Structure 1
Amino acid sequence: MTKKQKTAAAWVVVIIAFFGGFALANVQNKTPPCLDVIMLYFNIGETDAGWLTSVFTIMGMVTAIPASMLMRKLGPKKIGAISLACAAIGGIIGAFATDLTVLMATRVLEGVGVGMIAVVGPAVISMWFPAEKRGLPMGLWGSWMMCSQTLLFFIAGGLTTAFGWQGVWWFCVAFCVVVLILYMWKVDAPPAGTPNYAEGEDEEEFRFGDGFKSSSTWILTLAGTIFTFCCFGFATYISLYWAQTFFNGDMNQSNWWVSIMYAIEIPVVILIGWFLNHIKLNHRRFVGTVGFALYTFILFICFRLNEPGLLIPFILVYPFLEGSIPTVYWTLCPSTAKKPEYSGTAIGILNVGLNIGTLLGPPVTGYFIEYYGWATATVPLAVASVIGAVLFIFVKTYDHDSSKADARVGQGNG
């Protein structure tokens, strides 16, 4: 296989892996666009609605690290197929739920899929692309959530009007099935001889516990936890807030504007990924620091905004402030492992943190909204964002380029 063919094959795999993340992100994000209908259907308040949004992350936390271990044994094709199948089955059962407890249980099953796919995508990219070339594909991967939020906030109103909240559930099931077929067709580890080919390593050299010894991985994970706490606390309720504040309770109109906001964020994260390819690996963390610092300000005003003339500027600015953070942590994560064979473990640890933040963000934000009002709910989001900015400063990366490492060893021996 020529270099050009390998590059083309790498991008095909990465694009399909991205659609796997896109499908599972749809499963994750399907409740906020029809939150008002679900709250009426099950007669629940904002706090319970927040748990319905985030409860699936329980299994995401449980499966993230085992998924990184299974990746070594089963490969990305099988793990991706299992994750998509779990999400589809959970969605089918959930579409028939008439009891909140049953629906919550199906969300947990769907979380198995989300926890696994979030490991598969970055792992596939780290297999096919060297560290200095990962910025752009990780930027594409980092847009999976924004693509999902754009799509669902755009179509959920029509589906809910025509078929109830269950229409959104069935759409997500169909999406997962289509992507499952694509996964089985094309996604796999790179062939032997590819520079980042990681299979066939001496198992005696791989000690799973050593993957937990990088303090940098844990610092990055804590920053990622804070980000998902903030962004899902925001995303779960922003459409409801705009509907009540600007659109006389019309969620369809509010969803449309939220969809535009996340549509803008898609090219933003890809552009940031391209930018990261052109700066040194150990300087990329500062993009996260600046992004978090600026993100703090917009989080503080997000549920205080009540002037209609400021809505469009908010929609235009928000994607640039939020979009930089996930692109940076996905790009840095494999390189926070001290050795390349532990990159999968680092990704698993990061995903545990991301799921914890996703679990806590919506119900905590919903609690403050329900009992203290919209404006007060911005305070924990802003405070957390400040901490995230500080943490990024201390993220350290390791050079996994074997040729450079060998050269350094040779110099040392000389």
Structure 2
Amino acid sequence: MLEQDANQGEISREVETRWSMLFLIFGIGMAAAFQVGKVPPVLPLLRNDLGLSLFLAGWVLSAFNVLGAMISPMAGAVSDWLGHRRLIMFGLGCMTAGSFAGAYAQSATLLLGSRFLEGLGYIFIIISAPGLIIRVVGHKDLRIAFGIWGAFMPAGGATMMVMAPFLVSGFGWRGMWHINAGLLFGFIVLVAWTTRDLAGHKIVTKSPLNKLWADIWQTLRSPGPALLALCFATYAFQFLVVIGFLPTLLIEEEGLQHGLAAILSAIALATNVPGNLLGGWLLQKGVKRWLLIMVASLIMGFCCFVIYVPIGGVVVRYVGCIIFMGAGGMIPASLLHGAAEHAPRPELVSTSNGLLMQGAQIGLLSGPPLVAFVVSRTGTWQSATWVLAIVALIGIGLSLGLRSVERRKRERMLL
């Protein structure tokens, strides 16, 4: 028998919004995103210090995505079973240990092992956080709250990409790993102290394995979470292709210096934050979720032509990227709130969110290799346009499917 972190009945109960708690959760998300953003700026240093091949360097970057694609639904079910607060603290512990161990890596093996440990913690944090948000935010504020939460990744990633050169110049990459470990440990203490009132004592007597598989199966059979996961896959596919290859595009196609290309890329990533906030605000004002996803996908598809077809100079391409990232930010805000709304039962919020994260990680994993393959075969970045445009069209089609699902759901609620 295991203690449940929260009485599931509290999920559906109206609560007074605790904004300080919401921003604490957002801070945890940013700290987790730091661990994603800390690697790209120092990858050349890692390769030199540890003798990493380009193949192993790719694994250092993608360890988070591999784990997310494999275990997200199971991680969500475990979080719903053991409790969101407990799993957030466990995730922070994994990331603390991973960052601390990685600082002492003398080989690719230890560094990769530490990155997988960090990735495990990251998955538990981002999957468990929405369930905790529902417990500390009133129903009337949920849409804007998820808009804020959806900005944790671009905010944290962009912040670390900007800070990393300064931290490395002062402390080296190993020192930066230590600093991140200390920050994550600080959040463990802070969460343990400030969320004591969220700890509960409900006992679960059902067989854990049977419960986990039953929860996952019930979520998979629900059309809402499945459509949201597919929408997230199309968004993540486009997102990482554009932002991941932007420095390369600016350097190789426009002749910019590496430092300037890195700064411009971080600024572009940061514009995803106001997009998330705008998406949450529009949801709060009553704009339909499917419409936000459709409009954002349409804008992203159009911007791909601006970014990859040389119809203008570097300014035109960069403005296209800014608009792409800003408009795209409305999609995570819409989807993350949708995970809570479309969960088969209120207590399966994290399981539904796990399915969403699996879709996102699959998109992140598949996008860059596929586009890189097409570009290398054709010899031109213009070919990337058509791949991304097709994915954007798929996103539009999925948004129309989501429209039908949500309309049927509203009709059932009126019966």
Shorter-chain TM-score above 0.5: yes
Find the counterpart in structure 2 of residue 11 from structure 1.
19
Please give the residue correspondences for 1:141-220 in structure 2 after superposition, counting only pairs within 5 Å.
141-187=149-195, 208=215, 209-220=217-228
Moved more, 237-246 or 347-356: 237-246
Find the counterpart in structure 1 of residue 286 from structure 2.
279
In the aligned structure 1, how far is the partner of 2:377 from the partner of 2:349? 42
1:148-193 Cα shifts (integer Å, max 9, x gaps): 122022112233444554454344323322222222222468599x
Query: Are 1:388 and 2:395 counterparts?
Result: yes
In the aligned structure 1, how far is the partner of 2:37 from the partner of 2:289? 28
In the aligned structure 1, how far is the partner of 2:377 from the partner of 2:298? 28
Find the counterpart in structure 1 of residue 299 from structure 2.
294
Find the counterpart in structure 2 of residue 34 from structure 1.
42
Moved more, 360-369 or 347-356: 360-369
Q: Which segments of 5 or more consecutive residues in structure 1 lack a partner in the other structure?
A: 193-198
Moved more, 66-75 or 13-22: 66-75
Find the counterpart in structure 1 of residue 89 from structure 2.
81
In the aligned structure 2, how far is the partner of 1:43 from the partner of 1:202? 48
| C-alpha distance 22-36 of structure 1, shift in aligned 2 (>3 A) | same
Contact 1:262 1:319 in 2 (8 A): yes
Deviation for aligned residue 1:370: 5.7
Find the counterpart in structure 2 of residue 54 from structure 1.
62
Deviation for aligned residue 1:116: 0.7
Aligned Cα root-mean-square deviation (Å): 3.4
Contact 1:57 1:115 in 2 (8 A): no
Contact 1:265 1:319 in 2 (8 A): yes
The TM-score with structure 2 as length reference comes to: 0.81
Query: Are 1:360 and 2:370 counterparts?
Result: no
For residue 97 of structure 1, give the secondary structure of its aligned residue in structure 2: coil
Find the counterpart in structure 2 of residue 331 from structure 1.
337
Deviation for aligned residue 1:59: 2.4
Contact 2:299 2:324 in 1 (8 A): no
- Provide the aligned length of Structure 1 versus Structure 2: 390
2:72 to 64, 78, 97: 64
Tell me which amino acid in the other structure corresponds to 1:348. G
1:321-353 Cα shifts (integer Å, max 9, x gaps): 221111111111121223323333211211222
2:319 to 313, 320, 334: 313
Query: Are 1:261 and 2:268 counterparts?
Result: yes
Tell me which amino acid in the other structure corresponds to 1:57. N
Find the counterpart in structure 1 of residue 129 from structure 2.
121
In the aligned structure 2, how far is the partner of 1:39 from the partner of 1:367? 23
In the aligned structure 2, how far is the partner of 1:168 from the partner of 1:382? 38
In the aligned structure 1, how far is the partner of 2:377 from the partner of 2:111? 25
In the aligned structure 2, how far is the partner of 1:374 from the partner of 1:163? 40
Find the counterpart in structure 2 of residue 340 from structure 1.
346
In the aligned structure 2, how far is the partner of 1:130 from the partner of 1:228? 29
Contact 1:337 1:398 in 2 (8 A): no
Tell me which amino acid in the other structure corresponds to 1:7. E
Contact 1:228 1:354 in 2 (8 A): yes
In the aligned structure 2, how far is the partner of 1:24 from the partner of 1:38? 20
Q: Which segments of 5 or more consecutive residues in structure 2 lack a partner in the other structure?
A: 1-13
In the aligned structure 2, how far is the partner of 1:160 from the partner of 1:373? 36
For residue 285 of structure 2, give the secondary structure of its aligned residue in structure 1: coil
| C-alpha distance 363-162 of structure 1, shift in aligned 2 (>3 A) | farther
In the aligned structure 1, how far is the partner of 2:180 from the partner of 2:245? 21
Find the counterpart in structure 2 of residue 196 from structure 1.
none
Find the counterpart in structure 1 of residue 277 from structure 2.
270
2:357 to 343, 351, 355: 351
Query: Are 1:104 and 2:109 counterparts?
Result: no
In the aligned structure 1, how far is the partner of 2:103 from the partner of 2:193? 28
